[in-house]
Amino acid sequence: MSQQSAGYGSFDEIQQWNQELGKGRSDTLFAKNKNEKKVDLKDFIIKKVIGKGSFGKVFLVQKANDGKVYAMKSLRKDVILDFDQIESTLLEKEILQKADHPFLVGMEYVFQTEQKIFFVMKFVRGGELFMHLRKSRQFSESRAKFYSMCVAIALGHLHGKKIIYRDLKPENILMGEDGYPCLTDFGLAKILDANEQAYSFCGTPEYLAPEILEEKGHAFPVDWWALGILTYEMIVGFPPFYTGSQNNQRMYDLIKTKPVFFPEAKKHGIAMTEECKDFINKCLSKSATGRLGTKGDIEEILGHPWFNSLNVDEVLGKKYVPDFKPKLSTDVMDVSNFDKMFTSDEAVHSVLPVSTQKKILKVNEKFKGFDA
């Protein structure tokens, strides 16, 4: 394992990886390639940390037998149990397995040890849209329109499968080396039947729709609200109801009551067409029933005049040439488009305490749903 210690991860991370290799059983729960029936931790070499989540880290890994690189999401079972997230984690697995769409990050493998569940996904080399927006501060309206259409198509695909996404934000949009975005992280997604409502208070504060804040029930229109927030943020540089303070309640009040303020081209140096403003305003209708996309979902969204300059089939078929493509080297391990806060991370991965391991073993049957 000497190749791992050459700057790819801290000694503690590598030591933990090695200890995990020999700890208990390792079951393959899913393999996209049906000819490959079994994988486990020893089949992957850890290279970098490229992200962090509530339940664990995301690693850049290389498959030992063929050199292919993947993103591997490590989920600690004890944390999943503590947050009562078995059902949502299982749903995330099912969505990733079914996510055969150009604008969604799909699953390659799922396997588990006694302590953790591992999602192995395509490595999208261009990094988070958040990083690119932070570097540029604002995108041109043309560039934002292209990303909005791709994201809308992805959301429409999920809605067609009765899945509400609920976690749209620049951090959950990855950039392909071809310049096309794709959604990732389905931890807050939920399946909703016709006329069913969800009641969980969840999502990123700046992106929460009024009906989520009011906790009276919400459905698919919250995703179109979030698309309006995203579109505004990409062009202006910050969300429309952002206050800059730590007082979320003040922001929530603005979300529920304040009209959208649009910058003036001469005064603020940010030009927006009337069609763009209209699209954002209609996505950000305070009332879900009157919101763009509520009645006709994706067809209604794509039918808005703002998208008239783009051909949907051309975008979906990736025949459209994007305004921007991430700069990447020929090195397949290039993580320069990922946040250095993650890629330079030297945080210790300690072995789970014996008491925690025993706790997981006592209720490990709760994870049987992952076997299907």
Q: What is the pLDDT of residues 270-300, one digit of tens each?
A: 999 999 999 999 999 999 999 999 999 999 9
pLDDT at position 2 over 80: no
Q: What is the pLDDT of residue 341?
A: 76
> Which residue in the list 78, 167, 223, 339 is annotated as catalytic?
167
pLDDT at 3: 37
* DSSP of 13-45: HHHHHHHHHTSS-EEEEEESSTT-----GGGEE
Q: How confident is the model at residue 345 (pLDDT cuts 50, 70, 90)?
A: low
Asked whether residue 10 carries a pLDDT value surpassing 70, the answer given is no
pLDDT in tens, 109-158: 998 888 889 999 999 999 999 999 999 999 999 999 999 999 999 999 99
- Residues in CB range of 261: below 8 A, 6 or more apart: 240
- How many Cα neighbours within 13 Å face the side chain of 330? 0
Residue 369 gets which letter from DSSP?
G
Is the pLDDT at 21 greater than 60? The verdict is: no
> In a 3-state reduction of DSSP, which class is residue 224?
helix
What are the C-alpha distances in Å from 243 to residues 87, 187, 287?
A: 34, 27, 22
Region 46-51 average pLDDT: 88
Check pLDDT > 90 for residue 96: no
The pLDDT value given to residue 351: 64
Give the Cα separation of 182 and 315 in Å (integer).
Answer: 13
Average pLDDT, integer, range 70-84:
91
> With 70 as the cut, is the pLDDT of residue 200 above it?
yes
Range in 38-42, 74-78, 219-223, 275-279 the model is least confident about:
38-42
Of all residues in the chain, the percent with pLDDT exceeding 70 is 90
What average pLDDT does range 346-361 have in this prediction? Answer: 67
Residue 38 one-letter amino acid: K
**Contact 113/41 with Cβ under 8 angstroms?**
yes
Entry pTM: 0.88
Residue 12: predicted pLDDT: 55
SS3 49: strand
Q: Which pLDDT score, from 0 to 100, does residue 13 have?
A: 54
Q: What pLDDT is stored for residue 1 in this prediction? A: 33
Paired with 72 in beta bridges are 59, 120
Neighbours of 268 (CB within 10 A): 10
Residue 23 is predicted with a pLDDT of 52
- Coil/strand/helix, residue 255: helix
pLDDT at residue 259 greater than cutoff 90: yes
Strand partners, 182: 174
Contacts of 205 (CB under 8 A, 6+ apart): 248, 251, 252
Q: What is the CA 9 to chain-centroid distance, rounded?
A: 24
- In CATH, 129-316 is 3.30.70.270: no
CB-based contact 281:251 (threshold 8 Å): no
- State residue 343's pLDDT score: 76
> Mind listing the pLDDT tens digit for each residue in 216-246?
999 999 999 999 999 999 999 999 999 988 8
pLDDT of residue 183: 96
Q: Mean pLDDT, to the nearest integer, of 56-72?
A: 91
Average pLDDT, the chain: 87
Instruction: Note the pLDDT of residue 4.
Output: 37
pLDDT at site 251? 96
Is residue 167 annotated as a catalytic residue, yes or no?
yes
How far is residue 250's CA from residue 335's CA, in Å, rounded to a whole number?
Answer: 37
Domain boundaries, the chain: 2-125+332-371, 129-316
Instruction: Tell me which residue of 322, 309, 325, 315 sits closest to 153, measured CA to CA.
Output: 315
Tokens of 154: 């992805």
CATH number for the domain formed by residue range(s) 2-125+332-371? 3.30.200.20
